[in-house]
Amino acid sequence: MKLRRILKILLLGAVTVLLLGLGGLLAANILVLSMGQSRIVKDLSQVPLGSTGLVLGTAPRSAGKGGPNPFFESRMDAAALLYKAGSVQRLLLSGDNRRADYNEPVAMRDALRQRGLPDAALSLDYAGFRTLDSIIRAKKVFQLEKDVVVITDDFHLPRALFIAEETGLSALGFSAEPVPWKRSYRTRIREWFSRARACLDVYLWKTQPHFLGSPVPLPGGTPP
């Protein structure tokens, strides 16, 4: 009888923890989506003149298959579109370069060169290891405070803009062409959990980037 009672208590505790976890996950996603969606622009005319595009990095090649990563290609297409339309005057390419054999910012620069963009318009942030790092470093290291357009995937934008809002970076978002569900569903599902972690980073853990350093204003200074 004692064993049965203990098992019932353990089961009740496990179910309670599970429900609390699911409730927290749902609440975090609702919060992030409600705060981020309203700052996503679809019309290039909504982008303030002289803005800076903050392009968030991802792997240039797909894991396993080794072919071009559709998320990467879509982000580069969106960044090139904004620059060629005159909607942004420069681009900050922020990505992961924690290993000598892996360099997202350089891959982004090379891809944008191939799309006809000049080097003078491209600045690289090699310490954008996570979305939070890229957003906070854009403000604290590269001295951007307003007229910033975050460029990334449709499902990723709300989290990036949520972090920007909560860390004092005034930013809009422009979505890359969505990758079809059958090629992106795993990444989209992972994003539900990434949004919950973003809430913990911002509200509970007060997480800071892996690396900061001396300010490095972008060429041309902060947009007026």
Annotated domain spans of the chain: 29-205
Confidence of residue 49 (pLDDT cuts 50, 70, 90): confident
pLDDT digits (tens, 9 = 90+) for 174-216: 999 999 999 999 999 999 999 999 999 999 999 999 999 899 9
Rounded Cα distance, 95 and 105, in Å? 5
pLDDT at 224 over 50: no
Buried b (16+ CB within 10 A) or exposed e, 124-156: bbbbbbbbbbbbbbbbbbbebeebbbbbbbbbb
- Residue 164 and residue 51: Cα distance in Å, rounded? 16
Q: Which pLDDT band holds residue 97 (cuts at 50, 70, 90)?
A: very high
pLDDT tier, 142 (very low <50, low <70, confident <90, very high otherwise): very high
Q: Which of the following CATH numbers is that of domain 29-205: 3.40.50.620, 3.30.200.20, 3.30.43.10, 3.40.50.300?
A: 3.40.50.620
Mean pLDDT of the chain: 92
The more confidently predicted of residues 91 and 218 is 91
Instruction: Give the per-residue pLDDT at 157.
Output: 97
Sheet containing 122-125: give its strands across: 40-41, 171-175, 148-152, 51-56, 88-94, 122-125
Please determine, for residue 24, whether its predicted confidence score (pLDDT) is greater than 60. yes
Task: Categorize the per-residue pLDDT at 220 as very low, low, confident or very high, splitting at 50, 70 and 90.
Answer: low
The pLDDT value recorded for residue 222 is 44
The confidence score (pLDDT) of residue 10 equals 81
Position 86 pLDDT exceeds 80 = yes
